[in-house]
Amino acid sequence: MRCSSFHRALLGAAILLPFASVSHADECPVAAAQKAKAHAQAQSQVHVQTVAFNPGSKDIVDTAVGAGSFKTLVAAVQAAGLVETLKGPGPFTVFAPTDEAFAKLPAGTVETLLKPENKDKLVAVLTYHVVPGKVLAADVVKLTEAPTVQGSKAKVKVADGTVMIDGAKVVKTDIETSNGVIHVIDAVILPPEKK
């Protein structure tokens, strides 16, 4: 279809568009410009989606911060001086309690643990949530216990399709990071008391 002379005069510069070369010789410059614009928008949308969905590019700490539901855990990791460790190469598997999980603890527990004089106890609690290596959900369900960085072993149980680590329920699995994996749990697990 040929364009009117008005459209040719008005949009004669359209042949300079970067995508004009893809149009047919007898195609209207208006149509060519619209196609070029649609192509550019489609390309930019694909690029944005690719950049936005890159789950493994952040480490464990940055992933927890970005999630927004681990503020208490992140504060505890900072107070315990474990940020650099959990940003290290790993790999680590973290059973991460949400803010709601920390809220289930008896009143004052978190505040007490965050005090400088209780740093050793806080480190023990946090490292009990960390398993060395990258253990995905498919592997967790095969375990009966998991050796933690703290030194004790956490009990793993699978019942009715639900995975439990000690008394905590695993509510979300396999959040992959650049240095390991996070499994979200609904309670804070505590290492056994040393005898």
d(CA 166, CA 80): 22
Write the pLDDT tens digit of every residue in 95-144: 999 999 999 999 999 999 999 999 999 999 999 999 999 999 999 888 99
Distance of CA 154 to the CA centre of its chain: 24
Residue 45 pLDDT more than 70? no
Q: Where are the domains of the chain?
A: 5-52, 55-185
Higher-pLDDT residue of 195, 64:
64
Which parts of the chain are beta strand (E)? 92-97, 130-132, 145-147, 153-159, 162-165, 168-177, 180-185
Residue 53 pLDDT more than 60? no
What is the pLDDT, as a whole number, of residue 29?
53
d(CA 140, CA 173): 10
Q: What is the band of 185 on the pLDDT scale with cuts at 50, 70, 90?
A: very high
What is the pLDDT, as a whole number, of residue 167?
87
Distance of CA 42 to the CA centre of its chain: 26
What is the pLDDT, as a whole number, of residue 195?
55
What is the pLDDT, as a whole number, of residue 150?
93
Higher-pLDDT residue of 188, 31:
188
Higher-pLDDT residue of 35, 134:
134
Higher-pLDDT residue of 44, 76:
76
d(CA 191, CA 129): 9
Cβ neighbors of 20 (< 8 A, separation 6 or more) are 14, 29, 32, 33, 36
Residue 161 pLDDT more than 80? yes
Which tokens belong to 82?
Answer: 């474990």
What is the pLDDT, as a whole number, of residue 32?
52
Mapping DSSP to helix (H, G, I), strand (E, B) and coil, where does residue 173 land?
A: strand
Fold of 55-185: FAS1 domain (2.30.180)
